Structure 1
Amino acid sequence: MNTIQRIAKNMMVLFVGRILSMLLGFFYVMYTARYLGPANYGILTFALALNGIFGVITNFGLDPLTVREVARDKSLAKRYLANGVALKLLFGGLTFLIVFLVMALLDYPEITRKVVYIIALSTIIGGISNLFKDIYQAFEKMEFMSIGQILQSALSLLFAIIAIKLSLNVIHFAMIYLSVNLIVLGYHIVITTWKFLKPAVEVDLEFWKSIVKEAWPFALTAIFISIYYWIDSVMLSYMKGDEVVGWYNAAYRLILILLVIPSIYFTAVYPLMSQLFKNSNDSLRFSFERSFKYMSMLAFPIGVGTTLLADRIILLIFGPEYSPAANALRILVWSSVLIFLSQPYGRLVQATNKQIIETKITATGAIINMILNAVIIPRYSYLGASATTLTTELFVTLAYMYIFRNTKFFNRHILTFMWKASIAAAIMGLLIWFFKSLNLFLIIITAIITYFGVFILINGFDHVDTKILKRLMLPEGGSK
């Protein structure tokens, strides 16, 4: 199997898994949000946001480091997994202590505190599960990751339906996260023992020192990213109340679903980029350019289409109680467009051992985000938080492009990719505008056909894409 076929196979496995997982997750979010209502849904999403910020302490940058190092040397898998579990248990205990102290200082009702503590335990278990997924990714065995994702989403939906039938409250919905993560951790332990190695817990202090030394830039980056991903929900909860958090997170959850697309792609490509850094700089540049092109090709039509159809999307999924979320979605979707464009650079610096660049950029972004939220939320509420998120992602994207402006990773090809995708998306947008009163699904299908039709007409697909497609079609024994 050639390299392109291997990447395509892993992407297809991840794509199928994520599509099924997203579909199940979509219904979970829809049923949960509608059943709980904006206020109780706001409590649940506040707990997820708060633990999203502090939960990165549990991971401490171990996940991208484990993938990178094990992808380069498979014999390190057992050592990284055994010591990683021990470290995550240690950092997990610290995470729970910090969350407990923060909630003790804040004047929240008892029901909110209970939900936060349950989600904290769930986050720690999920962090340990991530180590097993790191092993699958490093060995490029994405099918086991996909099965785990589907299992998690299916169980979440099943337990949510049961909770709704039994008329349970928001605390029981928090318990769903903990129960599902425990079951999924058991799945990962069984699969890893069966297919890869026997999991263990190991305390090698010298190895810990080397891991922490390499992982801290990843950890700081994750902390800063989590701050500007989640601090808005925490600040909205404190300043504006649970209902506003519910509206904001109805839109925000849809954005997180969109971000599954770059996540799938770079889960498959990142191990290869890590290998190419050691073996071939020209191939690394090629991989980066194609990645940026495909992200641009998908990002711009998503931004344009969602902006024009936001009110109908929110009404369809969440119902009229969440109608204020439509304007938030119109703003937030452009932050997802920028994330699509910045992801190739973020993975590039990780793969080339320059993660400190990512740390500096995300640190600055987090500071900008917190300052803007503190100033804007009191006056503009959840729409101000949406604008702050967009501003932060704009800074991050421009910062990466500025840093790489005089390198082979920022050239005329990059600008051409964005320009052609923008033109095709604009024409697609005109079609949506003129026919927006038609059936929503008919509009979406027609818009997709129009976009790719225009993209082909303006030579958005070139001979390189054709060669890649041909290599995908090669038989198993085709050229390497």
Structure 2
Amino acid sequence: VETAVSTTTWLILNDSYFPGWRAYARPAGGTEADEIELPINRVNGNFRGVLLSEGEWVVRFRYSPASFQLGGLLSFMGVIILVFAGGVWGWQTVVRPQGALTTTRSIAKNSAAPMVLNLFNKGIDFVFAMFYLRVMGPADSGSFSTAIATAGIFEILSNFGLDILVIREVSKARDQAGHYLLNTTILRLGAAVVASLPMIVLIAGTSLFTNPFSRPEVLAITFIMVGMVISGMSKGVTGLFYVYETAEIPATMTTATTILKVGFGVVALLLGYSFVGLAAVSILTNVITFILLGVLAYRRFDLGGQWRVDWHLQARMVRLGFPLMLIHLLQTVFISVDVYLLRTMLPNGEEVVGWYSSAYKWFNALQIVPSYFTLALFPIIAREIERSLDAARRMYRMSLKIMLLLALPIAAVTTFLAYPLVQVLGGNEFLPHGAIALQLVIWSIPIGWLNSVTNYVLIALGLERMQPRAFAIAVGFNIVANALFIPRYSYVAASVTTILSEVVLLGVFAYYLRQRMPGVDWGRLLGRPFLVTLIMVGLMWLAFQIHVLLATAVGLVAYILGLWLLRVFGEEERQILRQILPASLVRRLEFLH
């Protein structure tokens, strides 16, 4: 509907009011990116109406009932359940967990299954996010993201690095499994009590800012924290399955409870409990997971050892767990402090965090790439360091180049696809701000992925003690920059600060790296890939004036040609690829010769 009004006026449609309709208004001559959503009211007891301020407007009405979105989600979950059931049956048929396994097959079984199921779970969570973002809208989804980010600090403090320690210690003495499980569980509960104190300060401290946490947000944080305490105890039991080389069992249970979480979450949303209901669901699903894993562990394993409180063991666990907890805490604050500051420093902080988090969901989905790449790289480069530092340096440079050459085109393509990506995820309510945030924050992944590789190389070089210092410097920069610029530039400041924080972290990492592995030559490593990407973005911008898909195709072709013309892959990289790739594949790839 096109209309012009000289004062605040009702626009009334001559049809009956019915739930499920949504209205969007934009100035005359604008595009859908300029739209804002308007509440639809029942006028004169029957008709649909929206209130317009002075000006010329184009008002768009759209029927988007929750039943349609719910039907799509339920259909998807039906397919997921069938695929999951088929996967479990196929796994039991092929692997036969009861049979004897070689060391190689055991390692493959205990890494491949959790990895595949983890990706499966992320896919389920992503599709569920497409549903709840539309139901809750930017403000409530922003509050939910704030609650998750805030409670995430509590999870790290309460777990205290015990997840890895349980696996390591019980692997050495399986006959003491029950002893370790009891004492680490007591330690987790004690750590949770202690961790609740800084959380109270963190929550109460928001009253010092422009926009303190609301009561529903505090309640949601509390629910999530309770769920995390139960989840922490589940992780202690999960560690036993890894010790006994049956990691696929807790991974399967996690997928089952993820499916339950979606079901309970849909019920909570339909009952009108919004993000507080989703937070409460986390308690229920974690209780179910804990009970099922506990029963399975009790039936399968010999939980031997003395079931008594061992204060000496707990004190040793605190000493061993503190460095692990500290580095994990710094890493988490590094990536989530902007959410806390956006929420509390801006008068519309809930909505801003909702836009920002819609961008971050795509950003986080891409973090699968460096996560699994570094997991595979770590043992290889650790062996190379023992054999030859020069060989390790070449392998490290090759790894950096692979990460960079993957990240740069992904960032470029995402920049031009940001609007449709955010629209698919959350709908028009998250536009244009969610897309703008994605266009900015996505450019942190090229440097961020280099940091992921360098982080593991520092550990392999025995420089893990430098990690807390590096992250402390980067976190300090992140907090100061966000605190200074968020009040004026909102989520744009947070997005740019994310990029600059990754640059700061890489600079500190490079400084420490020179102590054991000099000669990386960062300028030569970064120069040509960034030049190719700059040309790619320029050509994409020209093609974007015609269509976004044409821009994507032109960009990818230009990128591949640019890598070839500028000889980004030198003889050193080709030599390494010839060594690590199968001989049959090397013969087919002409550029390796």
Which category describes the TM-score, using the shorter chain as reference length?
A: 0.7 to 0.9
- For normalisation by structure 1, the TM-score amounts to 0.81
| Identical residues among aligned pairs (%) | 24
CA distance in 1, matches of 2:278, 2:369: 27
For the 8 Å contact 2:385–2:460, the answer to whether it is kept is no
Match of 1:357 among 466, 473, 476: 466
- Which SS does the other structure have where 2:582 is aligned? helix
Match of 1:232 among 335, 338, 350: 338
Match of 2:280 among 172, 175, 192: 175
- Map 1:79-478 onto structure 2 (within 5 A): 83-104=183-204, 106=207, 107-131=212-236, 143-144=248-249, 146-189=251-294, 198=303, 203-240=309-346, 241-268=349-376, 270=378, 272=379, 276=383, 288=396, 291-323=399-431, 324-351=433-460, 353-405=462-514, 407-408=516-517, 411-412=520-521, 418=526, 421-422=529-530, 425-426=533-534, 429=537, 432-436=540-544, 458=567, 460=569, 462-470=574-582
CA distance in 2, matches of 1:429, 1:135: 50
For the 8 Å contact 2:327–2:468, the answer to whether it is kept is yes
CA distance in 1, matches of 2:214, 2:475: 28
CA distance in 2, matches of 1:297, 1:10: 30
Distance change (3 Å), C-alpha of 1:63 and 1:289: farther
Matched letter for residue 175 of structure 1: A
CA distance in 1, matches of 2:475, 2:461: 23
For the 8 Å contact 2:159–2:188, the answer to whether it is kept is yes
For the 8 Å contact 1:4–1:471, the answer to whether it is kept is no
- Which SS does the other structure have where 2:581 is aligned? helix
For the 8 Å contact 1:221–1:363, the answer to whether it is kept is no
- Which SS does the other structure have where 1:462 is aligned? helix
Gaps of 5+ in 2: 1-100, 586-593
Per residue, is there more helix in 1 or in 2?
A: 1
For the 8 Å contact 2:407–2:446, the answer to whether it is kept is yes
Distance change (3 Å), C-alpha of 1:276 and 1:98: same
Bigger CA drift: 215-224 or 374-383? 215-224
Distance change (3 Å), C-alpha of 1:316 and 1:277: same
Matched letter for residue 363 of structure 1: A
- Displacement of 1:134 in angstroms is 5.5
Bigger CA drift: 184-193 or 207-216? 184-193
Gaps of 5+ in 1: 474-480
The answer for the alignment partner of 2:60 in structure 1 is none
For the 8 Å contact 1:43–1:112, the answer to whether it is kept is yes
For the 8 Å contact 1:288–1:409, the answer to whether it is kept is no
- Displacement of 1:196 in angstroms is 6.6
Larger relative CO (CA 8 A, sep 6+): 1 or 2? 1
- For normalisation by structure 2, the TM-score amounts to 0.67
CA distance in 2, matches of 1:268, 1:46: 33
- Displacement of 1:390 in angstroms is 1.9
CA distance in 1, matches of 2:304, 2:486: 46
- Displacement of 1:133 in angstroms is 5.5
The answer for the alignment partner of 1:22 in structure 2 is 122
Query: How far does the alpha carbon of each residue in 1:54-102 deviate from its partner, in whole angstroms, 9 at most, with x for none?
Result: 32211223345566x46xx932564765543332222122223432454
- Displacement of 1:456 in angstroms is 7.1
The answer for the alignment partner of 1:42 in structure 2 is 142
Per residue, is there more strand in 1 or in 2?
A: 2
For the 8 Å contact 2:461–2:516, the answer to whether it is kept is no
- Which SS does the other structure have where 2:514 is aligned? coil
- Displacement of 1:157 in angstroms is 2.6
Distance change (3 Å), C-alpha of 1:183 and 1:299: farther
Query: How far does the alpha carbon of each residue in 1:314-357 deviate from its partner, in whole angstroms, 9 at most, with x for none?
Result: 12211111111112112211223322111122223345553321
